[in-house]
């Protein structure tokens, strides 16, 4: 009975759906996290009676035919990149992007990674780094004697030194954009890597056309909506149960046929 394997694909699909939802819920408090959505597509069809085939020598054709679907499969886990809320922290090195764009991070391997999580700090030599100590490009160092740091909306980093009332510009933060943000590869630690699907990174200054603004003292929260995720979880659970019932019904039908005398 095809219904056994068809329902099994439905159960596996809903299991993956629950895994995606659980990952979203687990990262509700992760800075800069972007939720994902599981997407599915139907499997191949068996043509028992092909539509359009000739049904007689008089030229009549089969109008609809008989096609039996073989189930469902996962198509993608689409990342939804809508803006999260901005929460004020008061930390001078916490930066949020209001609008489009990613911070570029220099990995120890020499690769570039990208992130929306702007909960930064300073290294022992004064460079602005991530929580893992990776340098935030282009590598801005805060002078040793700085008593305050100001970062404006255009990403210009200014240090106020003791004995000098005039802020000193020590660097300029950059943002990058991608034509297809959903095509970035997530590698954990709030980092993404460029792929052939995402397109090449396009750099620019915060506030320029197509790029967001920098907000000092803020971080971007996860864009996970708890109510939506719980609703989706209930729907996935019900769909899983219904597929399980199809397997039970198919098993009972097989048992009935095997008991015929």
Number of H helices, E strands in the chain: 2, 20
Q: Nearest-CA neighbor of 95 among 34, 176, 44, 152?
A: 152
Let me know whether 6 and 23 are in one domain. yes
Q: Are residues 167 and 244 in the same domain?
A: no
Burial of residue 117 (number of CB atoms within 10 Å: 0-12, 13-18, 19+)? buried
- State the residue range of the domain holding 122: 86-220
Q: Is 6 helix (H, G, I), strand (E, B) or coil?
A: helix
- What average pLDDT score do residues 159-184 get? 90
User: Can you tell me the distance from the alpha carbon of 82 to that of 79, in angstroms, rounded to the nearest whole number?
Assistant: 9
Q: Are residues 157 and 208 in the same domain?
A: yes
Same domain, 234 and 120: no
Number of domains in the chain: 2
The percent helix, strand, coil of the chain (3-state, each to 5) is 25, 35, 45
pLDDT per residue over 42-60, tens digit each?
988 888 888 778 877 787 8
Per-residue pLDDT of 219-260, as tens digits, reads: 999 999 999 999 999 999 999 999 999 999 988 888 888 887
> pLDDT tens digits for 9-27?
999 999 999 999 999 999 9
pLDDT in tens, 68-124: 888 999 999 999 999 999 999 989 999 999 999 999 999 999 999 999 999 999 999
Is 10 in the same domain as 124? no
Within this chain, do residues 68 and 116 fall inside the same structural domain, yes or no?
A: no
Where does 51-195 have alpha helices with state H? none
Together in a domain, 177 and 51: no
pTM of the model: 0.86
Residue 224 near residue 24, CB atoms below 8 Å: yes
39 shares its domain with 108: no
Together in a domain, 160 and 178: yes
Domain co-membership, 71 together with 91:
no
Question: Do 91 and 56 reside in the same domain of the chain?
Answer: no
Tell whether 20 and 124 lie within a shared domain. no
- CA distance linking residue 85 with residue 184, whole number of Å: 21
């Amino acid at each position: 009975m095809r219904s056994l394997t068809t329902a099994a694909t439905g159960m596996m699909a809903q299991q993956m759906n629950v895994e995606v939802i659980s990952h979203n819920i687990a990262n509700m408090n992760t800075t800069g996290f972007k939720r994902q959505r599981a997407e599915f597509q139907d499997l191949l069809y068996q043509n028992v009676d092909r539509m359009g085939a000739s049904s007689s020598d008089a030229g009549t054709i089969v109008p609809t035919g008989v096609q039996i679907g073989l189930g469902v499969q996962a198509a993608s886990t689409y990342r939804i990149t809508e803006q999260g809320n901005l929460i004020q922290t008061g930390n001078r090195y916490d930066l949020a992007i209001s609008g489009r764009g990613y911070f570029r991070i220099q990995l120890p391997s020499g690769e570039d990674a990208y992130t929306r999580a702007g909960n930064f700090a300073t290294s022992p030599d004064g460079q602005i780094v991530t929580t893992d100590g990776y340098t935030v490009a282009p590598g801005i160092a805060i002078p040793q004697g700085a008593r305050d740091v100001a970062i404006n909306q255009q990403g210009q980093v200014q240090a106020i030194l003791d004995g000098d009332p005039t802020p000193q510009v020590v660097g300029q933060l950059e943002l990058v954009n991608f034509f297809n943000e959903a095509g970035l590869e997530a590698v954990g630690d709030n980092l993404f890597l460029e792929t052939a699907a995402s397109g090449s990174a396009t750099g620019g200054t915060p506030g320029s056309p197509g790029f967001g603004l920098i907000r000092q003292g803020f971080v971007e929260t996860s864009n996970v909506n708890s109510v939506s995720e719980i609703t989706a979880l209930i729907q996935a659970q019900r769909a899983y149960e219904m597929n399980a019932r199809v397997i039970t019904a198919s098993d009972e039908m097989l048992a009935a046929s095997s008991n015929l005398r």
